Protein backbone atom coordinates (compact mmCIF):
# COMPACT_ATOMS: atom_id res chain seq x y z
CA UNK A 1 0.00 0.00 0.00
CA UNK A 2 1.51 3.38 -1.01
CA UNK A 3 1.69 6.54 1.14
CA UNK A 4 -1.33 8.19 -0.51
CA UNK A 5 -3.56 5.17 0.12
CA UNK A 6 -2.27 4.87 3.69
CA UNK A 7 -2.95 8.54 4.42
CA UNK A 8 -6.51 8.18 3.09
CA UNK A 9 -7.15 5.17 5.32
CA UNK A 10 -6.21 7.09 8.51
CA UNK A 11 -9.38 8.16 10.34
CA UNK A 12 -9.45 11.17 12.68
CA UNK A 13 -11.28 10.16 15.87
CA UNK A 14 -10.65 13.29 17.96
CA UNK A 15 -8.93 16.62 17.47
CA UNK A 16 -8.49 19.69 19.61
CA UNK A 17 -5.66 22.14 20.20
CA UNK A 18 -2.87 20.06 21.73
CA UNK A 19 -4.34 16.60 21.07
CA UNK A 20 -4.99 14.44 18.02
CA UNK A 21 -6.33 10.85 18.12
CA UNK A 22 -6.30 8.74 14.95
CA UNK A 23 -7.41 5.27 13.94
CA UNK A 24 -4.68 3.67 11.84
CA UNK A 25 -4.80 0.93 9.22
CA UNK A 26 -3.20 -2.41 10.19
CA UNK A 27 -0.07 -1.69 8.10
CA UNK A 28 0.82 1.25 10.38
CA UNK A 29 0.64 -0.96 13.47
CA UNK A 30 3.54 -3.06 12.23
CA UNK A 31 6.38 -2.82 14.84
CA UNK A 32 8.77 -1.18 12.35
CA UNK A 33 6.15 1.31 11.18
CA UNK A 34 5.19 2.18 14.77
CA UNK A 35 8.83 2.81 15.74
CA UNK A 36 9.33 4.96 12.62
CA UNK A 37 6.19 7.02 13.28
CA UNK A 38 6.92 7.48 16.98
CA UNK A 39 10.52 8.61 16.40
CA UNK A 40 9.52 10.94 13.57
CA UNK A 41 6.66 12.53 15.51
CA UNK A 42 8.76 12.99 18.66
CA UNK A 43 11.40 14.83 16.61
CA UNK A 44 8.82 17.51 15.76
CA UNK A 45 9.26 20.50 18.07
CA UNK A 46 6.22 20.78 20.32
CA UNK A 47 5.19 17.10 20.23
CA UNK A 48 5.73 15.71 23.72
CA UNK A 49 3.73 12.47 23.79
CA UNK A 50 3.01 9.76 21.22
CA UNK A 51 0.97 6.77 22.39
CA UNK A 52 -0.11 3.73 20.36
CA UNK A 53 -3.21 1.97 21.66
CA UNK A 54 -3.30 -1.58 20.19
CA UNK A 55 -6.96 -2.11 21.07
CA UNK A 56 -8.72 -0.26 18.28
CA UNK A 57 -5.44 0.57 16.43
CA UNK A 58 -5.42 4.11 17.78
CA UNK A 59 -2.63 6.68 17.88
CA UNK A 60 -2.75 9.62 20.32
CA UNK A 61 -0.47 12.59 19.72
CA UNK A 62 -0.14 15.29 22.38
CA UNK A 63 1.57 18.55 21.43
CA UNK A 64 2.04 22.11 22.62
CA UNK A 65 -0.23 24.32 20.46
CA UNK A 66 2.10 27.26 21.12
CA UNK A 67 4.96 25.50 19.37
CA UNK A 68 3.20 23.67 16.54
CA UNK A 69 -0.29 23.50 15.09
CA UNK A 70 -2.59 20.62 14.26
CA UNK A 71 -1.69 21.11 10.59
CA UNK A 72 2.05 20.88 11.42
CA UNK A 73 1.50 17.53 13.15
CA UNK A 74 -0.63 16.24 10.26
CA UNK A 75 2.00 17.32 7.70
CA UNK A 76 4.74 15.62 9.72
CA UNK A 77 2.71 12.40 9.90
CA UNK A 78 1.99 12.53 6.15
CA UNK A 79 5.71 13.06 5.43
CA UNK A 80 6.62 10.05 7.56
CA UNK A 81 4.33 7.84 5.47
CA UNK A 82 6.47 8.56 2.37
CA UNK A 83 9.53 6.73 3.73
CA UNK A 84 7.89 4.01 5.81
CA UNK A 85 10.13 0.94 6.44
CA UNK A 86 9.20 -2.36 4.82
CA UNK A 87 6.63 -4.49 6.66
CA UNK A 88 8.10 -7.06 9.02
CA UNK A 89 6.76 -10.45 9.98
CA UNK A 90 3.97 -9.84 12.51
CA UNK A 91 4.57 -12.59 15.08
CA UNK A 92 7.83 -14.28 14.09
CA UNK A 93 10.03 -11.20 14.49
CA UNK A 94 8.73 -10.36 17.93
CA UNK A 95 8.78 -13.97 19.18
CA UNK A 96 12.45 -14.51 18.33
CA UNK A 97 13.61 -11.14 19.70
CA UNK A 98 15.16 -10.80 23.14
CA UNK A 99 12.88 -10.65 26.15
CA UNK A 100 12.30 -7.14 27.52
CA UNK A 101 14.29 -6.13 30.57
CA UNK A 102 12.42 -6.42 33.88
CA UNK A 103 12.34 -2.66 34.54
CA UNK A 104 11.53 -1.61 30.96
CA UNK A 105 7.77 -1.50 31.50
CA UNK A 106 8.14 0.42 34.76
CA UNK A 107 10.52 2.87 33.07
CA UNK A 108 8.02 3.39 30.23
CA UNK A 109 5.21 4.08 32.69
CA UNK A 110 7.40 6.53 34.63
CA UNK A 111 8.30 8.32 31.40
CA UNK A 112 4.63 8.63 30.41
CA UNK A 113 3.76 9.97 33.86
CA UNK A 114 6.57 12.55 33.69
CA UNK A 115 5.50 13.68 30.22
CA UNK A 116 1.88 14.04 31.33
CA UNK A 117 2.53 15.94 34.56
CA UNK A 118 5.67 17.90 33.66
CA UNK A 119 4.20 19.15 30.39
CA UNK A 120 6.49 17.79 27.72
CA UNK A 121 9.97 16.60 27.02
CA UNK A 122 13.01 18.40 28.32
CA UNK A 123 14.01 19.26 24.76
CA UNK A 124 10.70 21.03 24.08
CA UNK A 125 11.08 23.06 27.29
CA UNK A 126 14.74 24.06 26.85
CA UNK A 127 14.73 24.81 23.13
CA UNK A 128 12.77 28.13 23.34
CA UNK A 129 14.99 29.30 26.21
CA UNK A 130 18.16 28.54 24.28
CA UNK A 131 16.97 30.25 21.11
CA UNK A 132 16.10 33.36 23.14
CA UNK A 133 19.40 33.31 25.03
CA UNK A 134 21.54 33.16 21.89
CA UNK A 135 20.21 36.32 20.25
CA UNK A 136 22.34 39.40 19.64
CA UNK A 137 20.29 41.51 22.08
CA UNK A 138 20.65 38.96 24.90
CA UNK A 139 24.41 38.80 24.31
CA UNK A 140 24.77 42.60 24.40
CA UNK A 141 22.66 42.79 27.58
CA UNK A 142 24.82 40.15 29.23
CA UNK A 143 28.06 41.89 28.25
CA UNK A 144 26.71 45.24 29.50
CA UNK A 145 25.89 43.65 32.86
CA UNK A 146 29.35 42.09 33.11
CA UNK A 147 30.96 45.46 32.32
CA UNK A 148 28.82 47.23 34.94
CA UNK A 149 29.71 44.69 37.65
CA UNK A 150 33.37 44.88 36.69
CA UNK A 151 33.41 48.69 36.93
CA UNK A 152 31.72 48.60 40.36
CA UNK A 153 34.19 45.96 41.60
CA UNK A 154 37.24 47.87 40.39
CA UNK A 155 36.03 51.19 41.83
CA UNK A 156 34.46 49.88 45.06
CA UNK A 157 37.22 51.17 47.33
CA UNK A 158 37.09 54.59 45.65
CA UNK A 159 33.28 54.72 45.97
CA UNK A 160 33.18 53.77 49.66
CA UNK A 161 36.35 55.49 50.93
CA UNK A 162 36.53 58.70 48.88
CA UNK A 163 33.46 59.48 46.75
CA UNK A 164 30.88 58.94 49.53
CA UNK A 165 32.88 60.91 52.10
CA UNK A 166 33.26 63.98 49.89
CA UNK A 167 30.62 63.88 47.11
CA UNK A 168 31.10 67.53 46.07
CA UNK A 169 34.82 67.08 45.50
CA UNK A 170 34.15 63.96 43.38
CA UNK A 171 31.09 65.31 41.56
CA UNK A 172 32.62 64.47 38.17
CA UNK A 173 32.89 60.76 39.13
CA UNK A 174 29.29 60.74 40.41
CA UNK A 175 28.00 62.44 37.25
CA UNK A 176 29.88 59.91 35.09
CA UNK A 177 28.41 57.03 37.10
CA UNK A 178 24.84 58.35 36.86
CA UNK A 179 25.27 59.03 33.15
CA UNK A 180 26.45 55.46 32.51
CA UNK A 181 23.49 54.07 34.48
CA UNK A 182 21.15 56.37 32.51
CA UNK A 183 22.60 55.11 29.20
CA UNK A 184 22.19 51.48 30.31
CA UNK A 185 18.57 52.03 31.38
CA UNK A 186 17.73 53.89 28.16
CA UNK A 187 19.23 51.07 26.09
CA UNK A 188 17.20 48.47 28.00
CA UNK A 189 13.95 50.46 27.60
CA UNK A 190 14.47 50.95 23.86
CA UNK A 191 14.51 47.16 23.32
CA UNK A 192 11.04 46.58 24.78
At 25-63, the pLDDT tens digits run: 888 888 888 888 888 888 888 888 888 887 778 899 988
Residue boundaries of the structural domains of the chain: 3-121, 135-190
Q: Domain 3-121, what fold?
A: Gyrase A; domain 2 (3.30.1360)
> In the chain, where do the E strands start and end?
11-16, 19-23, 47-53, 58-63
**Which is higher by pLDDT, 165 or 124?**
165
Give 73-96 pLDDT, tens digit per residue.
Answer: 888 888 888 888 877 544 444 444
**What proportion of the chain, given as a percentage, has pLDDT over 70?**
78
- The predicted pLDDT at position 33 comes to 86
The confidence band for 108, taking pLDDT boundaries of 50, 70 and 90, is low
- pTM score above 0.75: no
> Quick check: helix, strand or coil at residue 108?
helix
From the list 125, 112, 107, 95, the residue with the least C-alpha distance to 38 is 112
Amino acid sequence: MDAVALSRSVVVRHKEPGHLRLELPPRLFDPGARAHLEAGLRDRVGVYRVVFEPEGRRLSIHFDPGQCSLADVACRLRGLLDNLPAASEPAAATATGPAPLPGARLFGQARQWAERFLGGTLKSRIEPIMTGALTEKATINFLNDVLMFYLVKVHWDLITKRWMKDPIKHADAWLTTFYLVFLLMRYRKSGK
